[in-house]
Structure 1
Amino acid sequence: MNKNQILKQYFGYDSFREGQETLIDSILSGRDAFGIMPTGSGKSLCFQIPALMMEGITLVISPLIALMKDQVAALNQAGVFAAFLNSSLTASQYHKALSFAKEGKYPIIYVAPERLMTEEFQDFARHARIAMVAVDEAHCVSQWGQDFRPSYLKIVDFINQLPVRPVVSAFTATATKEVREDIIDILMLREPEVVTTGYDRPNLYLGVQAPKDKYAAVKNFIDTHPNQSGIIYCQTRKLVEEVCDRLGRDGISVTRYHAGLSDKERHQNQDDFIFDRYQVMVATNAFGMGIDKSNVRFVLHYNMPKSIEELYQEIGRTSRDQEPGECILFYSGQDVVMNQFFIDNNQDNQELDDLTRKVVTERDRERLKKMTYYCFTNECLRDYILRYFGEYGSNYCGNCVNCLTQFETVDVTEIAKALIGCVSSSRQRYGVNVIIDTVHGANTAKIRQYRMDTNPYYSVLAKTPSYKLRQVVNHLMLKEYLTVTNDEYSIVKLTADSEKLMESQEPVMMKMAKEQEPALREKTGKKSKKPKLAGVELTEQDEALFEKLRRLRAEIAKEEKVPPYIVFSDKTLVHMCAVKPKTKTEMLTVSGVGEFKYDKYGERFMQCMDSDLSI
């Protein structure tokens, strides 16, 4: 079979997405390849399809057990023999899988990087025909990447010990220019075909809120998005427990995930979420990498992540089937302090020398600063993320809170100069709150203790609301007229541009929301029109049919012991509702239905639709 026939027969698609065919052709020609493609864009097909056409075995290096299990289950459901080799297998299971691999039963084998250098696996690899080594989540190889894993550095040693060098391919969704160069150098890719399809996920709504009561905001969001699957990320295990317990008491179908749970409970909770037994997962950032659940419709950040890379990875778990999804970050100043603490007490880089560890820490602090600016900016949030990764758009996406909020351009020169003057006259010794309280004229114990009530700028902006003063401070930091120190006290400091602003006759202009509340138009607090699925606005009758098909899918998933989305995605079920196929030919026109899956499930789904239509 050729690549198009494989795409249709095993995966049920009629055409390739952007970048896929270029990478597949490169690999089939024997050339190394490097794909930087957003989550949900079909990266895995770029190495799975060549693997089914090449003579020999494709080894897929994967960082997490969950990712391997998910992808192998999906391949087996599609009719492709595949296996994984990792620590989740018992000794007998591992030896049995390795025995089948030696017999050539599997064209695709997923393996953890830690397994590569074991004597048993190396013996297998030396005597097998390895056609390709595909490195998934390739950013893990770079110490400048957000998920650096020292075990990934062993990949090149493993490849160099093979009798014949295979094609090497690498794939990631997140890589700045520096990380891309690092990946190519460390993996020693030979003149690779590099394809970057962009970082944009236009189906995702992006928002930032600064609510006084985070829990109430989260609960309100879930209440207005009934029956939707979603993830809530919290900064600490303690917060995960608190939020999960409160949601459970409030009647939400919820479970939890963090490193403090036993392996058994973590695996059980993860399965409960993946198999749709629970609607909402509350978790630390230990959860999610490799989770391919396609019907996650929202990701809420209870706290601000440490970096744009982390934010992008986590929101990437939303609507992997390209349907509409929502990603809301609930910000507070305490998030910055807590993240700074995590960076300063990071234990993940102990294998690095002192100088490199210091450089990595400074890099993490700079990333935290860029992440904080994301929460401040009144510009397009999507454009902010894209520019971070080196892409430039129109600064208007029409699907983020800032693009959907009415702004006006305001002259804030007087406020800006008073704030900078206060920082200067207090000899750059205090944090943001003290500066704002001083110019606002607050009569607090701290202001009196620091004698800021005698500062020449005390009370000069008494009539300006505190929230507006904070907005201007954030704007000055965003434009680098002010900065804050990277320590637990976060002291406000002047920059090289501070004096230029004070001496300039040019006005300082900034965008401000017309609403009185500065954080966010309450998009998430109202029930909106049901979004289209797969570009189709379902009728009430079709919605009932969709739910009926979902129940059948759940029944089959239970029989097969796989997550429901591995049987068919929501998108495929919606297409069925639109097409209402009555024959095999019609059923094979549905996106996501290939020959193998038709043979397994097609008749049952057509009978389900037929019985519904005959009522």
Structure 2
Amino acid sequence: MADSRALAVLKDKFGYDSFRRGQDQVIERVLNGENTLAVMPTGGGKSLCYQIPALLEPGLTLVVSPLIALMKDQVDALNENGIAATFINSSLDYQEINHRLSMAALGEVKLLYVAPERFDAPGFIDELSRLNISILAVDEAHCISHWGHDFRPSYLHLSDVAAQLQSHPTVIALTATATKKVATDICERLDIPDGGFVSTGFARPNLTFNVIKDQDKDTYLLEYLKLNANQAGIIYASTIKEVDHVAALLASKHYPVTKYNGQMSSTERNQNQEDFLFDRKPIMVATNAFGMGIDKSNVRFVIHYQVPSDLESYYQEAGRAGRDGLPSDAILLYKANDIRTQLFFIENSDADEDHKAEQYRKLNKMKQYANTGDCLQQFILNYFGQTGTAPCGRCSNCLDDRDYQDITLDAQKVLSCIIRLRSGWGKGMLTKVLAGARDKKLLECNFDKLSTYGLLSSYRQKDIGSLIDFLTAEDYIQVGNGKFTTLGVSEKGGNVLRGKETVRRKMAAKAKQSLPVDDDMFQSLRALRMSLAEKNGVPPYMIFSDQTLRELCKEQPQTRVDMLSVRGIGQNKLDKYGDIFIDAIKDYLSAAEGDDTADRDEAAAN
């Protein structure tokens, strides 16, 4: 049962009557002084797991956060809720840092956000030891693991911070994406006991996952944006060249778009990010340099224009859609050629051979996700070790109403060719042999003499490659790890060769109108929110989320007491904005009633 004090803070400061699954369990452990790892999906409310204990514990909560934008975002949101918080990072000069440390020492703030790199600075631990730190919160905790998708060496310093601080604070680590291997690594490094691992699962019920394969990406993208107009979203590309291409394409069609990559100046990045957060340009095209910790709650779609390097990265980036719990889309536009970009990144990285082998393995799993015919959400959950779940019923595979085509004969041709090649070659050579190519290496190996040479010569090579990817994703083909991945026939594939199993595949998808269309009242309240946001210098979602706006449209509160019953409106937000929105709702309803009366009078006159 949730702590009554924690529930009171939840309602008063954040405007919610009950905790989401797992939040109360984590909060109880932290309040009991027990080190804890919380693994919750993006949008699952991880930050409340340390923010609420921070307001209940007598000392300071120190939050380690990896990005300047993330810190500012979270501190602004806390201040908007009437909670005293500040941050220390490289954007501040020495005098301002000392001032903020003094504020923390005097108890003028309850939460202090710091970058992990601060612990590299000589004497920083000594400065922190002068503070009464009750809780050490490590956000994006997967960054501490060598096996995580976003390992950061600066996080390794956090392993003994709690022990070095005189107050020996309780440690809470938080992440949205951690395989069992990564979770174990986090717990070992941060002294979290076996019983301290709390996971609420990885499912995102409000997200619809889609894979769009081997289609013209620009055509699909433009059609999707046309059908789902006036929505905020992020479009990820793997290279700066593709970011520039997509941003220019959308700008040429007059979409409100901006862009972000690591090679832009900090001034330009900050301005573009602010334009996105404030909904001035609600479509962001970016490399993966953008987004970690961005709390913008009204992102309705995340589209990957190119395949990312691994499922952890993909799920974290896709999870930036629908943080407010409203229906949202996560779409992967997949072409097999995009894999070459990720292979180039791996081959030219500074990682040792063991880590490169792990990266190749993860990239192969990403390929399987793009080519599976099974439930996409289920595939992701299985990857993170959450097995036994039912199909989501929402993804492009679950809702695929295209007819199946029996491809058993073509599958047998592919599998037979793998055997003829004696499982010593990869996808490239297999494709060429089946296509009947006159490749120099192929001819040198006498593969043109194989009985399977040219068996699929009526197909384009890219279509043969797509078929091979599909058979791999469905476990008919086994893939070895390493830079040069060799292919073999699995037991399941052997059954196909022996005629004991058939292979069926669905064939191209079209963009759909998939996101809800907002009504006039919502648009009116959203315009008011934008005006207040510009006036107060905060992003619109920090005033009220889209979910709160929709509840206001549904409940249409007429008094401050009514207003306080709406999810997401606590006392501080009520005092700031309650009367303004109540008046706006009354004005809208009065105008709507006047329109209805005029319509009735006109109808009677006719």
The 2-side partners of 1:491 and 1:366 are apart by 9
Instruction: Give, in angstroms, the shift of residue 461 of structure 1.
Output: 4.5
- Identify the match of residue 487 of structure 2 among 477, 488, 493: 493
Q: Name 2:160's counterpart in structure 1.
A: 157
Note the residue ranges of structure 1 that are not aligned, 5 or more in a row: 350-356, 533-537
Tell me: CA distance 1:259–1:578, structure 2 relative to 1, closer, same or farther (3 Å).
same
- Identify the match of residue 361 of structure 1 among 317, 342, 356: 356
- Identify the match of residue 226 of structure 1 among 221, 229, 242: 229
Q: Name 1:85's counterpart in structure 2.
A: 88
What is the identity, as a one-letter code, of the residue corresponding to 1:251?
H
The 2-side partners of 1:34 and 1:450 are apart by 54
- Residues 361 and 482 in structure 2, CA contact (< 8 A), matched pair in contact too: no
Deviation readout 1:87-117 (Å, 9 max, x if unpaired): 1223332222122112111111111111134
Matches within 5 A, 1:407-422: 412-422=407-417
Q: Name 1:123's counterpart in structure 2.
A: 126
The 2-side partners of 1:500 and 1:612 are apart by 67
Tell me: CA distance 1:234–1:499, structure 2 relative to 1, closer, same or farther (3 Å).
closer
What is the identity, as a one-letter code, of the residue corresponding to 2:500?
P
Instruction: Give, in angstroms, the shift of residue 308 of structure 1.
Output: 0.5
Instruction: Give, in angstroms, the shift of residue 134 of structure 1.
Output: 0.8
- Residues 407 and 512 in structure 1, CA contact (< 8 A), matched pair in contact too: no
Q: Name 1:354's counterpart in structure 2.
A: none
Q: Name 2:472's counterpart in structure 1.
A: 477
The 2-side partners of 1:546 and 1:167 are apart by 43
Partner secondary structure for residue 562 of structure 1: coil
Q: Name 1:279's counterpart in structure 2.
A: 282
- Identify the match of residue 343 of structure 2 among 340, 343, 347: 340
- Residues 256 and 282 in structure 1, CA contact (< 8 A), matched pair in contact too: yes
Matches within 5 A, 1:513-524: 513=506, 518=507, 520-522=508-510, 524=511
Deviation readout 1:36-67 (Å, 9 max, x if unpaired): 11110111001000100001001011111111
- Identify the match of residue 400 of structure 2 among 405, 415, 420: 405
Q: Name 1:509's counterpart in structure 2.
A: 502
Tell me: CA distance 1:483–1:191, structure 2 relative to 1, closer, same or farther (3 Å).
closer
Question: Does residue 456 of the first structure (1) align with residue 451 of the second (2)?
Answer: yes
The 2-side partners of 1:461 and 1:30 are apart by 65
Deviation readout 1:197-224 (Å, 9 max, x if unpaired): 0100011111111244212221221121
Q: Name 1:250's counterpart in structure 2.
A: 253
Question: Does residue 35 of the first structure (1) align with residue 20 of the second (2)?
Answer: no
Q: Name 1:527's counterpart in structure 2.
A: 513
The 1-side partners of 2:490 and 2:550 are apart by 57
Q: Name 1:371's counterpart in structure 2.
A: 366
Tell me: CA distance 1:486–1:184, structure 2 relative to 1, closer, same or farther (3 Å).
closer
The 2-side partners of 1:176 and 1:169 are apart by 18
- Residues 67 and 293 in structure 2, CA contact (< 8 A), matched pair in contact too: yes
Query: Would you say how many aligned residue pairs link Structure 1 and Structure 2?
Result: 588
Tell me: CA distance 1:599–1:311, structure 2 relative to 1, closer, same or farther (3 Å).
same
- Identify the match of residue 299 of structure 1 among 281, 286, 302: 302
Q: Name 1:388's counterpart in structure 2.
A: 383
The 1-side partners of 2:322 and 2:116 are apart by 28
The 1-side partners of 2:52 and 2:493 are apart by 59
- Identify the match of residue 210 of structure 1 among 209, 213, 220: 213
Tell me: CA distance 1:412–1:553, structure 2 relative to 1, closer, same or farther (3 Å).
closer
Partner secondary structure for residue 43 of structure 1: coil
Note the residue ranges of structure 2 that are not aligned, 5 or more in a row: 592-606
Instruction: Give, in angstroms, the shift of residue 6 of structure 1.
Output: 0.7
Deviation readout 1:438-468 (Å, 9 max, x if unpaired): 4355688997787655432234445678777
Larger deviation, residues 457-466 vs 95-104: 457-466
The 2-side partners of 1:469 and 1:87 are apart by 51
What is the identity, as a one-letter code, of the residue corresponding to 1:284?
T
What is the identity, as a one-letter code, of the residue corresponding to 2:524?
K
- Residues 41 and 177 in structure 2, CA contact (< 8 A), matched pair in contact too: yes
What is the identity, as a one-letter code, of the residue corresponding to 1:580?
Q
What is the identity, as a one-letter code, of the residue corresponding to 2:366?
M
Partner secondary structure for residue 56 of structure 2: coil
Larger deviation, residues 417-426 vs 295-304: 417-426
Q: Name 2:553's counterpart in structure 1.
A: 577
- Residues 207 and 329 in structure 2, CA contact (< 8 A), matched pair in contact too: yes
Q: Name 1:352's counterpart in structure 2.
A: none
Q: Name 2:101's counterpart in structure 1.
A: 98
- Residues 411 and 503 in structure 2, CA contact (< 8 A), matched pair in contact too: no
The 1-side partners of 2:121 and 2:161 are apart by 10
Question: Does residue 551 of the first structure (1) align with residue 527 of the second (2)?
Answer: yes
The 2-side partners of 1:475 and 1:283 are apart by 29
Q: Name 1:58's counterpart in structure 2.
A: 61
- Identify the match of residue 319 of structure 2 among 316, 321, 326: 316
